[in-house]
Homo-oligomer: A and B are copies of this chain.
Amino acid sequence: MNSTYQLDKKYLKRCFILAKKGAGKVSPNPLVGAVIVKSGIVIGEGWHNKYGDSHAEVNAITNAKVNISGATLYCNLEPCCHSKKQTPPCVPLLIENKISRVVISNIDPNKEVNGRGIRQLKNAGIQVSTGISEQEGQELNKYYFKYVSKKIPYISIKIAQSIDGKISESKNKQTWLTGEKSVKYVHKLRSVYDAVLVGANTIKTDDPQLTVRKVKGRNPIRIIIDGKLSISLKSKVIETDDTQNTWIFTSKSSNKRKVKSLTENGVKVFQLKSNENNSLSLKKILNILTKEKITSLLVEGGADIFTQFIQKELFDELIVLQSPNILGRGIYSQNIQKLKKLELLSTSKLGEDIKLVYGKN
């Protein structure tokens, strides 16, 4: 009844589910799950669980209950073949264990792999099928693929706004627009993005912790753009635990004593040369984040930061959490200069709010 194609899709779907167990923990590595099937029975499963730990394929082989010779290995990413990394390559292991077929949804764009893994498998007489459920595999590892191919993090802008596109009732005043479900969703996002980013005004107005509290998960790196180093040393991002996860981008001319004090507090301070208009270059910041292996970035506000990222088209998706309010007077989410056409990718209700995800057109 089940064709090979349908079975391939079924086991790859299982790989996606396994792979997600590593979300938020494997970066800058990709999310990978592996399933070993012999005579129609799943005999081993594994996933990459943490950066530095063994790969999904290795874990699946280790977990296999019977001899895997002649089995099919399903994996959402091309097995690795290079040794310039923390763990040994997977391809020789598959050959050695006499796997007869390998089914892959996506080729690894990492230039050390990028088809070479597949070629080595084929040269060893292993049958290889690729491109099955490729889109889902692409979505699963969208951060990794963007980071590896474009050398820049995957950037999502998250705007919580009213029906009339406002983010607060007035400047320097926090307005709580969205409901509990949206707040939980934001915490979930923080738990899977490598880093979140806000401007100094958001710290001064809202004094957010930018941590994961409403759901289980690890905290992201907290990035603050603060050209003048104007935020208070008593801000929650400075005072609360995990200060080594707070990174501040400021100008070279910022107050040395404050820089020293922050550094002593565990905060990582990056000092950049300011632009002529006294601001910091987003591109330079993103280049540094790329070097620091930040593969995914959630931009959380406020209006000035949103404007810069949207204006310069420095984003992959715009997540609008729209509350059922009309604010009337208030602060607009952004103030770009020219119409930008986007594409509505998905919609879903979050309690009283609606989530609208837009991509670049």
CA distance A318 to B162 in the complex (A): 14
CA distance A337 to B326 in the complex (A): 10
Contact of A329 among B164, B335, B349 (CB under 8 A): B335
CA distance A342 to B324 in the complex (A): 5
Q: Which of A278-296 contact B (CB under 8 A)?
A: none
CB <8 Å contact, B324 and A328: no
> Given that A325-B339, A326-B339, A342-B324 are contacting pairs, would A347 and B358 also be in contact in the complex, using a CB cutoff of 8 Å?
no
Judge if A206 is at the interface, Cβ distance under 8 Å: no
CB <8 Å contact, A164 and B332: yes
Judge if A165 is at the interface, Cβ distance under 8 Å: yes
CA distance A260 to B325 in the complex (A): 44
CA distance A326 to B313 in the complex (A): 12
Q: Which of A307-348 contact B (CB under 8 A)?
A: 310, 318, 320, 322, 324-329, 332-344, 347
CB <8 Å contact, A353 and B342: no
Residues on the B chain within 8 Å of A335, using CB: 328-329
Judge if A354 is at the interface, Cβ distance under 8 Å: yes
Judge if A169 is at the interface, Cβ distance under 8 Å: yes
CA distance A13 to B349 in the complex (A): 27
- Number of A residues contacting the other chain (C-beta, 8 Å)? 37
Residues on the B chain within 8 Å of A343, using CB: 324, 352
The winner among A310, A324, A327, A356 for most chain B CB atoms within 10 A is A324
Residues on the B chain within 8 Å of A165, using CB: 162-166, 332
CB <8 Å contact, B328 and A336: yes
CB <8 Å contact, A339 and B344: no
Residues on the B chain within 8 Å of A328, using CB: 334-340
* A157 → B minimal CB distance (Å): 11
Judge if A361 is at the interface, Cβ distance under 8 Å: yes
CB <8 Å contact, B353 and A326: no
CA distance A335 to B329 in the complex (A): 6
* A106 → B minimal CB distance (Å): 28
CB <8 Å contact, B344 and A352: yes
> Given that A163-B165, A165-B165, A166-B165 are contacting pairs, would A325 and B341 also be in contact in the complex, using a CB cutoff of 8 Å?
yes
> Given that A344-B353, A347-B349 are contacting pairs, would A324 and B358 also be in contact in the complex, using a CB cutoff of 8 Å?
yes
Residues on the B chain within 8 Å of A322, using CB: 356
- Shortest Cβ distance from A175 into B: residue: B339
- Shortest Cβ distance from A326 into B: residue: B340
Known: A324-B344, A344-B353, A354-B356. 13 other contacts (CB 8 A): A163-B356, A163-B358, A164-B165, A165-B166, A324-B342, A324-B343, A325-B342, A326-B339, A328-B339, A328-B340, A329-B336, A344-B349, A347-B347
Which residues of A are in contact with B by a Cβ distance under 8 Å? 162-166, 169, 310, 318, 320, 322, 324-329, 332-344, 347, 349, 352-354, 356, 358, 361
In the assembled complex, 27 residue pairs joining A and B whose CB atoms fall closer than 8 Å, in A order, are: A162-B339, A163-B318, A163-B320, A163-B358, A164-B333, A164-B334, A310-B326, A322-B356, A324-B342, A324-B343, A324-B358, A324-B361, A325-B339, A325-B340, A326-B339, A326-B340, A326-B342, A328-B334, A328-B336, A328-B338, A328-B339, A329-B335, A329-B337, A343-B352, A344-B354, A347-B349, A347-B354
